[in-house]
Structures are given as structure tokens and as C-alpha cells.
Structure 1
Amino acid sequence: MLIDSHGRKINYLRLAVTDRCNLRCFYCMPEQGNDWLSRKELMSYAEMLRISSLLVKMGIEKIRITGGEPFVRKDIMQFLASLSALPGLQQISLTTNGILTAPLVPDLKKLGISSINLSVDTLDQNRFFAITRRDELPRVLDTLDTLLRYDMDVKINAVVMEGKNTQDILPLVELTRDLPVSVRFIEEMPFNGGGNDFSGLAWDHFKILETIKEKYPNLQKLPDPANATAYNYGIAGHKGTVGIIAAYTRSFCGTCNRIRLTPQGSVHTCLYGGGVLNVKDLMRSGYGEPELEAALTDAILKKEKDGWGAEKVAATGQHASMATIGG
């Protein structure tokens, strides 16, 4: 098992396969996009599979594939097929914006991938365009329909932003009346590649909760799974559930069981921290499995207690784009 110095079992890897995305959400990256990594700077699929295999042997049980947008990387389905064959890996899940996803759902299901996080910040087409700078909401909603038709476990993720989409909170909650989905509201974070346009935290998890309670006074707290990032709630008569993720106030950090691996091979033991190790560079310099295992064990052992501590240690004064870290 992988255990950090705070006694937490680390069994969850968030693996970003690309920094590229076909949206330009203002809270994630500049309008013109990022300075994209070259192919040489990215980990190859073989390198990703090698390090994933080692981490599974060391105790990782769940891998979430993120980006950027995972499905913009060529041959991603072949990689997922190889990843799904790793002995000991219990679950693969995906985070996607849904634009390219719908046609791939049957094959994802065949691979045993049945848990999908779908990013949907608004159900209004004009606000969707204003937030993402792309007119793609119909394709995203088609993906939602397809996922549900194939009995996928769907979580809808919505970042709550002052002056952008707070009017969408209640319409998104209303989806849970007839759909078996978890709609999760996420506090806004400053990961847009420089801090520009970050509105500050006008909407923390308390304000989001009170807004929902005003409309749904029968909102009931549900038990939260171990290591959960969301506070979960149910509404009587609704098929789905509601979650609120305190991503900026970071009240869930004490039970963190996650590490992140960026497309260029940088290991992050916290979203708010810097890279603590680059496994791509180690692999390309000839490190074998024992040396890689020792380096990873040491990095995880030094994992900070919470996001505030990690941010203090990183001390960069500027946050990268979420697309380069792994959304």
C-alpha cells in the first residue's frame, strides 16, 4: 500500500492524457488556448501504461482519465483498452466535456468503464457559449442522453461562478428529479493560467447549499463515501442526488487519497501544489522499476496535509491552467 506521512492510504490516480481541449472555458484557460505541449514533451501511451502498471502494483486501485479533454488525443480508445487489462486495477473512470464522447459510449461500456464525470456548467445555450467560447451544448446534452441510455454512472460537474451561471443552479438540480444522475456544484478555483477573471469566492459551498435549500427545503444530507470530495444530498421523490464540492475552501483535504499525473509526467500530490517528481524524465533517463518505485514512495510520503499547506510550499504566486494539471 501507498501511505503518506499522515497515515492516508493513497489508492487513486488522476491521469491527464493531454493538455489540449476543444473548449476554451474561461475559468480553465485563456481564450487563445495554452501553449500546447509538443508530442515529445508528452508522455507516450507506453510510458503512461508503464507508470500506471507500477502504481497499481504499489496500491493504486482506481484511475480517472482526465485532460484537457481526453478524447481529443488520438488513439485514446486503444490506450484505455490496454489500461483496462492491467491486473489489480479495480476501476477506470473518465472526466469529459462530452463533445466527442457520445459515439464512443458503447465501446467504453464494453471496456468496463461505467463511471463518467460530465462537465456541464449551464443548460442555457447562450451562457454555455459565453463560458466555453464554443457553441457545443447540444452535443454535450446528446452525450448525457447516450450515457444514461447505456446505464452509465453519471456525475454532472458544474463550476459555480458569480455573474456567469448562478441562475443555473436550480435548473441543474431539477435534472435530478427524473434522471439518475449526481449533479455536483464546484467552488470556483483560480486555475485559468494566470488568475485572470477569477471572481474570488463569492459562492462558497455554504451559499450554494442555502440557495438549493430555499427551493428544496426537504433537502436531506446523505452519507458521504470514504474519501469523498463532495457533500452529498438527496431530495425526496428525486431519482438523482446533489453534491457540493468545496474545491477552494478545501474542507475535504484531510481524507485525500489522490495523486495526479500530468501529460508531461509530473506527479502532483495535491492540486494546489507544484510537481514533486517527473516520472517521464526518470523513465527516459533509464530508471528501472525499483528506482521508480522508490522515487514515487518518497514523493507520496511527503504529501502535504491539505491544499493550504501544499499551496504554501509551492509558493508560485500564480496558478497554472487546469488543463495542464489534469481537470
Structure 2
Amino acid sequence: MFQPPTDSYHRRIDYLRLSITDRCNLRCLYCMPAGGIPKLDHDGILRYEEIMRIARIAVHMGISKIRITGGEPLVRKDVLYLCENVAKIPGLKSLSLTTNGVLLSQFADSLFRVGIKRINISLDTLNPAKFEMITRRNLFHEVWEGIEAAQKAGFAPIKLNTVVMRGVNDDEIEDLARLTFRYPFHVRFIEFMPFRPDEQCRKFLSSDEILDRLSKVAPLLPAQSINSNGPALHYRFPGALGKVGIISPISHHFCSSCNRLRVTSDGKLRTCLFASEETDLLSLLRQGALDEDIIQHMRQAIARKPERHALGDVLRKCISRPMFSIGG
């Protein structure tokens, strides 16, 4: 095992997000079209053995944290088998999972048992009717049951991710933040990111505006987050059990400290969420490349990792590849 690789800007790369499917049981308006997406054929998606091989190679290179994402990872058959085997990779310090929560009540206990210790759950609203409008599915209560099941299973902290959209759910910022008075949750507010050219960028609400709204709930105190060097800035309300976080990829980008790689469900390595350049790991795997060959290609990609994303002015520049096909 090596020390984490560094890119040309001296950033230590120690975190890998592995998407295992582009399929999802929700149709969130900021992620997927209402009618769904053309499904990748069976041969176009990474097999579990290939995902595990990529994970082993990455850990050997110095990656210490892996997150399983989708689409919605819990819709893929035998996901527990994958999680259990990745969790057993020698040298891996942290295995986590991001989910929309719909199926979580069925999986929470088993996920915890096989080695998933941290979990992020998408929750953009506390209003069932608005949930159906945002996700195009009437499944709010299933998600809340999943959150409760995760808490009962022992996940801590449970991170709730809210994509803030002006005119859609920004009127619930305060109510979502107040959850931290009742539960030891980390409620994290994420700036809306435009992933499709047709998206209405006027939905964007800056982190400064979000913080201003939060400060009206109660005084905001800076807070530390244990075992996390991620992009969120953390705060706590006096007397609260949990924390609130702000993730601002647009207005105050965190590119200078970015430590992550992404592998899409169709086997493309991306060194930046917003990048256009990809490295085709799936083809390398199926052409019989040795581990050393794959490591070389990954190191070359890391060396080309951009200094920062190129979104620039959120009101004018969007990106062509949608989030579901990149991985959450």
C-alpha cells in the first residue's frame, strides 16, 4: 500500500466515489427526466467483480475512503454482497453509502452489519406533497421510515442532504435545520448545481443566503466534524443534538482542497464532478489490463486533475452530463 497519490496541485487524493448503477426509483426534477432514462445494457455496466477490483487497486494506491453511490445503489441486486466484500479490503478505513432512503428500512440493519458505517440520505423536503412534486413519486413516508431505521441500526452520524432550490424548497430551510434540535442528524444544505443545459439556473440559491436564513433560527456556532475533511462547513445551534452543514460548490467552490475521484457505473474515471475528460477503466478491465496498467492510467488521470471546476458563472454555464450518469 502506498501513500495517497497527489495531483499536480499537491492535493492528496484519498477518497473514491463508486457508482454501481445509473438506475433510480425516484425521478428528482434536478437529476432525472420525468420519463426516466435509457438503461445501460448488461454489458455496459461494471460487474461486481470489476467494481471490487477497482476498489482494491484504489486502496492499494492509497485511497482510504470509498463511498458507494448510484443512481440509487439499493436498487441493484445483491448490493449487500458488494458492500461486504469492499468493506473487507485491507487498508480501507471508511466505507459509506449514499441513498435516497426509499428502500433503506429494508436494508439498514444489513448494511450496518456488512460494514457500512456512515450513510447519507437525500431529503429535500419535509412536506409529503412537495416530496412528490420534487421526486415525482409519493414515497415520503417510506424515506422517513428509512431514516428512522438507519438511526435504530446504529448509523452515526446520519447525514441528510438537501439540495436547495429557489422557489421550490427554500421556504423549508429553517424547518429542516430545526431537525437538529430533535435528532443527532447532520442536515447539510447543498447549492443547486446545473447539470443539464435545459435547467433553469434561476433555482440557484447561494450559501450566503442559506446561512443568513439559518442564523435567524438561532445563533450559529462553528462546529467540528470528526473523521471528515469533506466540502461541508459545519455549524451547530446552541443546545442542538445535531449539526447543520453548508456545501457550496458554486458560490464558494472548495476545489483547492478536493481529495476525490469518481468512477461511473459504466466504468469511467472522473477526477472532477464537472469535468468533461474521462478515463475508460471498463475497457481496460475487459481488455485484460494488469493492475499495474490500470494504476498507471489512474495516476495519469490524477496528474491531469483540473485546478478547479469550469462552471464559472452559474447563470450562464451548465454541464452536459447529468448527475445520474456520473454518480451521486
TM-score, structure 1 normalization: 0.94
> Is 2:101 the counterpart of 1:98?
yes
2:253 maps to which residue?
251
1:54 maps to which residue?
57
- When structure 1 is superposed on structure 2, of 250-259 and 91-100 the one drifting more is 250-259
Residue correspondences, number: 320
Q: Describe how 1:293-304 pairs up with structure 2 within 5 A.
A: 293-304=295-306
The one-letter code matched in structure 1 to 2:327 is G
Aligned 8 A contact 1:228 1:252 in 2: no
1:325 maps to which residue?
326
The one-letter code matched in structure 2 to 1:38 is D
Distance in 2, Cα, partners of 1:198 & 1:260: 26
> Is 2:235 the counterpart of 1:221?
no
The one-letter code matched in structure 2 to 1:323 is F
1:133 Cα deviation from its structure 2 partner: 0.2
> Is 2:40 the counterpart of 1:37?
yes
Aligned 8 A contact 2:87 2:115 in 1: yes
1:76 maps to which residue?
79
Q: Identity of counterpart residues, as a percentage?
A: 38
1:219 Cα deviation from its structure 2 partner: 1.0
SS at match of 1:267: strand
Aligned 8 A contact 1:157 1:186 in 2: yes
1:273 maps to which residue?
275
The one-letter code matched in structure 1 to 2:192 is E
Distance in 2, Cα, partners of 1:199 & 1:5: 32
1:4–1:147 Cα change, 3 Å:
same
Q: Once the two structures are superposed, what CA deviation does each residue of 1:287-306 show, in whole Å capped at 9, x if it has no partner?
A: 11111111111110111111
1:105 Cα deviation from its structure 2 partner: 1.1
1:112 Cα deviation from its structure 2 partner: 2.4
Distance in 2, Cα, partners of 1:128 & 1:308: 31
Q: Once the two structures are superposed, what CA deviation does each residue of 1:126-161 show, in whole Å capped at 9, x if it has no partner?
A: 100000000000000001111111221200000000
> Is 2:169 the counterpart of 1:165?
yes
Distance in 1, Cα, partners of 2:250 & 2:22: 22
Distance in 2, Cα, partners of 1:250 & 1:287: 40
The one-letter code matched in structure 1 to 2:52 is L
2:14 to 7, 11, 20: 11
The one-letter code matched in structure 1 to 2:267 is G
- When structure 1 is superposed on structure 2, of 230-239 and 249-258 the one drifting more is 249-258
Q: Once the two structures are superposed, what CA deviation does each residue of 1:5-26 show, in whole Å capped at 9, x if it has no partner?
A: 1111101000000000000001
Distance in 2, Cα, partners of 1:261 & 1:200: 30
- When structure 1 is superposed on structure 2, of 256-265 and 201-210 the one drifting more is 201-210
Listed as ranges, the gaps of 5+ residues in structure 1 are none
Distance in 1, Cα, partners of 2:319 & 2:231: 24
Distance in 2, Cα, partners of 1:213 & 1:235: 9
> Is 2:228 the counterpart of 1:190?
no
Distance in 2, Cα, partners of 1:75 & 1:223: 36
Aligned 8 A contact 1:161 1:199 in 2: no
1:110 maps to which residue?
113
SS at match of 1:215: coil
- When structure 1 is superposed on structure 2, of 51-60 and 316-325 the one drifting more is 316-325
Distance in 1, Cα, partners of 2:40 & 2:289: 23
The one-letter code matched in structure 2 to 1:320 is R
SS at match of 1:200: helix
SS at match of 1:227: coil
Listed as ranges, the gaps of 5+ residues in structure 2 are none
The one-letter code matched in structure 2 to 1:177 is F
The one-letter code matched in structure 1 to 2:221 is Q
1:172 Cα deviation from its structure 2 partner: 0.6
- When structure 1 is superposed on structure 2, of 219-228 and 133-142 the one drifting more is 219-228
SS at match of 2:296: helix
1:103 Cα deviation from its structure 2 partner: 1.6
1:250 Cα deviation from its structure 2 partner: 4.6
Q: Once the two structures are superposed, what CA deviation does each residue of 1:220-276 show, in whole Å capped at 9, x if it has no partner?
A: 122466632111100001000000100223521110100000000101100010242
1:318–1:178 Cα change, 3 Å:
closer
1:83 Cα deviation from its structure 2 partner: 0.8
SS at match of 1:229: coil
1:178 Cα deviation from its structure 2 partner: 1.4
TM-score, structure 2 normalization: 0.94
1:80–1:224 Cα change, 3 Å:
closer
SS at match of 1:40: helix
